[in-house]
Chain A
Amino acid sequence: MNGTSENKTSGSSRELELYFGPQHLGMVGNFSITLKVEGDRILEARANPGFLHRGFEKLMEYRTWIQNFPMVCRINVIESGSMEMIYSMAVESLAQIEVPERAHYVRSIYLELCRVSSHLFGLWAYSNMLGFDTVAQWAMYHRDLILDLLEELTGGRVYNIFIWPGGVRRDFPKGFEDRIVETLHTIGSCVPDYNTAFFDNRIFYERSKGIGKITQQEAKELGATGQTLRATGLKFDIRKVAPYAAYDKVEWDVPVREDGDAYSRILVIRDEMIESVHMIFKLLEAMPQGPVYNRIPNPFKWKIPPGDTYVRCESSRGELGLYLVSDGGERPYRVHFRTPSYTNGLILLEKLLQGASIADVGNIMISLYVVAPEIDR
C-alpha cells in the first residue's frame, strides 16, 4: 500500500500491516480487520465486511411476503426474535393487520428470552476471548437452558421462526409459564457466581476498564445505540422511546452506566439481562387470555397495498430498523435493514481501535457486540 511505504520512512520504528481475521481465534465471526500497527499500538484500523454476504435484502424482493418470514431470522444468527419482530411489525404496518392483545405479551416474553440468550452468548464470547473459560462454559450452558425453552415454544432452537405477521405462530404449551420461571430462577441463582468469577474479578476489571472509551457526544454522532450508547449515560431504549409489543404494559427500568468504556458496556449487558428476567416475570403475571394470531390473507394471493414504512425495535445489540416498500404486489419492492452491528462494527470500531493496543482488539470488538451476519446482509 502506498500509505504504508510512506509511513515506513516517516515513522520512528517499523510499521506493519496486520490482518486480524477472518481466520483468527479472537474474531467474532466471518469478519476481518486490517490493522496498521507500530509496535503493539494500532495506528489505523480498517474493517472488512463481506465474508458473509448472502444478499438477503435482494433475496427478499424475490420471495412472497410469507416466504420472507422464515428467512429474516438468519440475518442475525444469534438473536432471531428481534428480526422476526421487525419484519412482522413492518408488514403489519403496511398491510394494516391488527395483533391480538395476548400475542403482544407472548411476543414480548419471547423477545426477552431471546435477548437473555443472546446476552449469554455475548458473555460467552467475551469471557472466552479474555480467557475466562469457566465463565464461558457457564454462559453457554445457561444459554442452552433458554434454547430449551425456545425449542419447546417454537420447535426450533436457533432459528425459531416464531413471530409472524398477525401474531405468533403457536400459543404457549401447557405449563410453559412455570418452566420459564423455573429456568430463569436457575440462571438467576448463578448471578453471584458470575459476579465473583467475572464481573467483579480484578483481572477482568483491569482488562476492560477504560478500554474502548467514548463520550456520549461521540456515541451519538457515530450512530451508536444499545449498550454502547447506554454505557455513556444516556437512557435510550426503543422499548421505552417507541414502545411496541407489550413493553408499555409493565414497569421496568433502562439500566445505564456513565463511563462509556468496555467495562461499562458489559455491566449494562449484565443489568439488562437481570432487568429482562424481572420483566418476563411481570409480563407473565399481566398476560391476558385469548387468541394469539389474527389470520393473515391467503399467502398465495396476498398483496400488500402500495406504501412504505420504517419501523424500529430494540434488539439485543441496539436499534434495529427496517425500511420496507410495497408496490402493491405479492413481494416486497425494496427491503433495507438498519442493523446495530453495522454502525458498531464498521464506524465505531475503526475509531476506537485507533491508538489501542493489539491485545485489546478482540476486547473492544466484542464489547461493541458486533455480530458479523448483521453487517453483511
Chain B
Amino acid sequence: MKQNEERGTGSLLRPLKTIGFVLRIPQTLRYPFEPKEPAPRYRGFHLNDWEKCTGCGNCAEICPNQAINMVEIAEIQPKPGMKNERPQLDYGRCCFCGLCVDICPAGSLRLSRDYFHIHFDPKTFVFVPQDDKTDHEHFYPIEQYSIFKASLTHRRQDYEGFSPDLNFALFDPQRVPMKEVEPDKRVLSFVEQVLGYDREEARAEASRCLECKLCEEACPAHMKISDYIKAIYEDQPAEALRQIFEDNPIPSICGRVCMKHCEKACSLSIRGEPLAIRWLKRYVADSITDYQVALEQKTAEPSGKKVAVIGAGPSGLSVAYFLSLKGHKVVVFDSLPGGGGTLRVGPPLYRLPLEAIDKDVDYIASLGVEFRFNTTVGKDVLFEDILKGYDAVFVGVGTRVSRSTKVTNSDRAYLALPFLEQNKLGKPVKVGKEVIVIGGGNVAIDVARVALRLQHIQYPNEAVVTKVVSLEDWDEMPATKEEIEDAKAEGIQFNPGWGPKEIKVADGEVRGLLCMKVKAVFDEAGRFNPTFYEDELMFLEGDMVIEAIGQRADFSFIPQQILEKLEFTAWGKVKVDENGMTTIPGIFAGGDIVNLNLDAVTAIADAKVAAEGIDKWLRRKTT
C-alpha cells in the first residue's frame, strides 16, 4: 500500500506540468499541406519499362493474388525473344508484396512511391503500367504534380520505389559451370572439349528455367524447350527425350553444335547467364544409351510411297525421320561414308565426335530409313533416275563448296572445307608451323583451332603459331563470342580489321600474307562490300594459308534442263513455297540451300515443313 500512496502523492501544481507541452512542436502533420514523403523503398503502384519488358509473364505467374494478367499491346512489334504482351494490374487484387519485382528477369518492373488512386469507376483500377520513359502523358515533374490530383493517371516523375536487386532476385542469374578440358591440354589432341553435365548438374541447371517459353518462339524448330527442361529437372530424361523428338530427331548433334537461338532469347540472359539449353539437350541425348527403348516409337502403316532424300545432313535426316514415322519409305543418298552431311565433315572432333552423329543417324535408320552412303548423286546414281523412281524428292545438299578470296597466288592457299573434311575423314593435312587463316566466321575459327591441334600433333614441343585474319573488327566478327574466347585461350592470334591483298610466294614456298587495313566491311545499304585503305599494309609471316570466307551450294548434279526450271530468290537461295516445295512439283528442298541462318536447327525447321508438305503431296496424289 505504501507504493500506492507514493503514486498518489503530488502537489496541486502537478497538472500545470502539461503547460510545457504547449510550447513543443506539434507532432502531427497537417496533411495534405504537409505531405509525408514515402521511403525510397516504398512499395506503391507499378512502373514498367516497356522497352525492357519482354512480356515473359513471370510476374503474372508468381503473383499470389492473380492480380496480374498479360495483355496484348497492338502497338508493340514482337521481336525474337519478346512477346507483345505487357502486364496488366488489377489494384483491387494487388497486395503490393513486390514478388513480381523480384521475379522480373528483365528488371523492367518496379514499384513507385505513388499510392493514391480515387475514382468512381472501378474499371480504372485495372491498369497497364508504364513508366515515365515511355508514358509522357501521365507522369508529371514535381512542379506540376499535385497531391490533390494524384491518381493512376497523375503520377510523379522520377519517383521509383521498390526496385529490383539481382542479389535478391528470385531467379538464379548464374548457370551451373560446364566442365571443360583445359586449353593447354585440349590443343594437344582432338579430345572433346566440353565434358557435359552429370545428373545433379543437369538437374540444378534445369531448375533455373522460369518456363516463360520465350525460347520456344525463338527456336526455328519451335522445340518444346520448357517441357523437356522440366522433365530433366524432374529426373525423367526419357520423357525429356520424347519431348525433344517431337521436333528434333538429332539431339545428340544439336546438343553439341546448335546455334542456340533459344539461349539468346532466354529471359535469364537479360541480366544474367542464359539457361544452358543446348548442354541440357546434350545431357538428355548422352544419358540415354538406347533411344529406341526410351522412345518406343512406332511407324505408321506403310503407305507404299517412296521418297528420295538427297543429302544426309540435318535437313535430310529430319525429313527422313518425319516421313518414315508417317509410313513412307525413305531412301537417303549421300556421297560421304556416313550420315551428318556438313556436320560430319565440318565441325571438328573436339566439338562434335563422330559417335555423337552416328547415335542419331543409327536411330533414324532403325525406323526403316535406308541410307545409301558413298553414293554421289549425278555420278553413281543419276538425278533423273531418282525423279523417275520415287514419288517425291527432297534436296538438302547444303553449301559444300568453299569460296576463295581470289587474291594473287590464292591458288596456293588451302580451302576450309576440304581441309576440315580430310581431317575428319582421318587423312589430316600436313600443316605448316605458321598457319594463317583468312576469315572471321565460325568455320574460320574451326579451321584455326584444327590447324593448331595438327601443329601440336605434327610438331610436338616445337614453336608453332596460328593466326586469324578477318575483315571484321572484334565487334562485328560473325563467329560466336565463346568460339573466339576458346580460340584465344588456346593461343590463336587474331588480326581483326585486315583484308588479304596477296599471298607472298618466294622460291616456290608460301612466305606469308600481305594485308591491307579495312575501311568498312559493309556499305551504306548494309550489304557486304568491303573497302580498304590501300596504303596501310601489314605483312603476316606464314608458311601456310587457309581460306575460310564462306561456302556456296553446288547444283551440278541436277541436269541443266531441270535446273533451268528451278527458281532462286534474290539471296541466291532455292525458292520454296509454304510446303517446302520448289518451283518444280514433287521436288522439295530445305537446309542451307533454302534458309539464310545456315545452321542445323533451321534446317530441321525446314525439314519439318517439307515433311508435312511431302506427306500432303503424296496423299493428294493418291486421292
Contacts and interface: CB of A to CB of B under 8 A. Distances in A.
State yes or no: do A and B come from one complex.
yes
Interface stretch (B166-174, B250-258, B280-288, B513-521): B166-174
Interface stretch (B34-42, B237-245, B523-531): B34-42
Interface in A104-158: 141, 148, 151-156
Interface string B167-185: 1111110000000000000
A307 to B, nearest CB: 19
A71 B96 CA distance: 11
Interface stretch (A200-208, A217-225, A235-243): A200-208
Nearest to B204: A297
Interface in A168-191: 169-170, 173
Contacts of A68: 64
Interface in A248-284: none
A166 B7 CA distance: 50
A66 B40 contact: no
A170 B41 contact: yes
B207 A301 contact: yes
A161 B97 contact: yes
Nearest to B17: A196
A203 to B, nearest CB: 10
B61 A300 contact: yes
A67 interface: yes
Contact of B170 (A66, A71, A209): A66
Interface string B1-44: 00010011000000001000000000110000000001111110
**A153, A161, A299: residue with the most chain B Cβ atoms closer than 10 Å:** A299
A298 B171 CA distance: 6
Interface string B392-417: 00000000000000000000000000
Interface stretch (B208-216, B443-451, B535-543, B599-607): B208-216
Interface residues of A, number: 35
Contacts of B98: 155, 161
A159 interface: yes
Nearest to A296: B170
Contacts of B167: 291, 293
Given A299-B170, A300-B210, A201 B41 contact: no
B545 interface: no
Nearest to A150: B39
- Tell me the interface secondary structure of chain B in the complex: loop
A295 interface: yes
B209 A301 contact: yes
A151 B115 CA distance: 14
A200 B7 CA distance: 6
A233 interface: no
Given A151-B38, A200-B7, A202-B7, A156 B43 contact: yes
A201 B7 contact: yes
A63 interface: yes
A141 B27 contact: yes
Interface string B456-500: 000000000000000000000000000000000000000000000
A65 B39 CA distance: 28
B366 to A, nearest CB: 34
Contact of B165 (A141, A151, A170): A170
Nearest to A134: B18
A70 interface: yes
A154 B210 contact: no
A151 B39 contact: yes
A155 B233 contact: no
A296 B17 CA distance: 56
- Tell me the interface secondary structure of chain A in the complex: loop
B111 to A, nearest CB: 7
A170 B43 CA distance: 13
B99 interface: yes
Contact of B207 (A161, A291, A298): A298
A374 B619 CA distance: 70
B387 to A, nearest CB: 52
B487 to A, nearest CB: 34
Nearest to A293: B168
Given A155-B161, A301-B207, A301-B209, A70 B41 contact: no
Contacts of B210: 298, 300
A70 B95 contact: yes
Nearest to B162: A155
B168 A151 contact: no
B150 interface: no
Given A70-B97, A159-B95, A295-B172, A300 B27 contact: no
Contacts of A200: 7
B43 A300 contact: no
B270 interface: no
Interface string B98-110: 1100110000000
Contacts of B575: none
B227 to A, nearest CB: 13
B188 interface: no
B62 interface: yes
Contact of A67 (B4, B64, B165, B207): B64
Nearest to A73: B97
A154 B211 contact: no
Contacts of A205: 4, 7
Contacts of B58: 300
Given A200-B7, A205-B4, A298-B207, A148 B64 contact: no
B41 A152 contact: yes
Contact of B96 (A66, A156, A169, A196): A156
B96 to A, nearest CB: 7
B64 A71 contact: yes
**A67, A154, A200, A301: residue with the most chain B Cβ atoms closer than 10 Å:** A301
Interface string A292-316: 0101111111000000000000000
**A68, A70, A291: residue with the most chain B Cβ atoms closer than 10 Å:** A70
A68 B8 CA distance: 51
B230 interface: yes
A328 B170 CA distance: 20
Contact of B42 (A67, A155, A169, A296): A155
Nearest to A145: B27
Contacts of B207: 297-298, 301
Given A67-B99, A70-B95, A298-B210, A173 B61 contact: no
B247 to A, nearest CB: 23
**B4, B99, B168, B169: residue with the most chain A Cβ atoms closer than 10 Å:** B168
Contacts of B233: 301
A260 B43 CA distance: 42
Interface string B49-74: 00000000010011010000000000
Contact of A155 (B39, B99, B209): B39
A63 B165 CA distance: 24
Contact of B208 (A153, A161, A196, A298): A298
Contacts of A151: 38-39, 41-42
A151 B7 CA distance: 39
Nearest to B169: A295
A298 B102 CA distance: 12
A363 B62 CA distance: 44
28 contacts: A67-B64, A67-B99, A69-B97, A69-B99, A71-B95, A152-B39, A152-B40, A154-B41, A155-B41, A155-B111, A156-B96, A159-B95, A159-B96, A159-B97, A161-B98, A169-B102, A170-B168, A196-B17, A201-B7, A295-B172, A298-B208, A298-B209, A298-B210, A299-B170, A300-B62, A301-B207, A301-B209, A301-B233
Given A173-B41, A298-B171, A300-B62, 8 more contacts: A66-B99, A67-B64, A151-B38, A155-B43, A173-B40, A202-B4, A295-B169, A298-B170
Interface of B: 4, 7-8, 17, 27-28, 38-43, 58, 61-62, 64, 95-99, 102-103, 111, 161-162, 165, 167-172, 207-211, 230, 233
Interface of A: 63, 66-71, 141, 148, 151-156, 159, 161, 169-170, 173, 196, 200-202, 205, 209, 291, 293, 295-301
A-B residue pairs, 4 tightest by C-beta: A70-B97, A67-B64, A155-B41, A155-B43
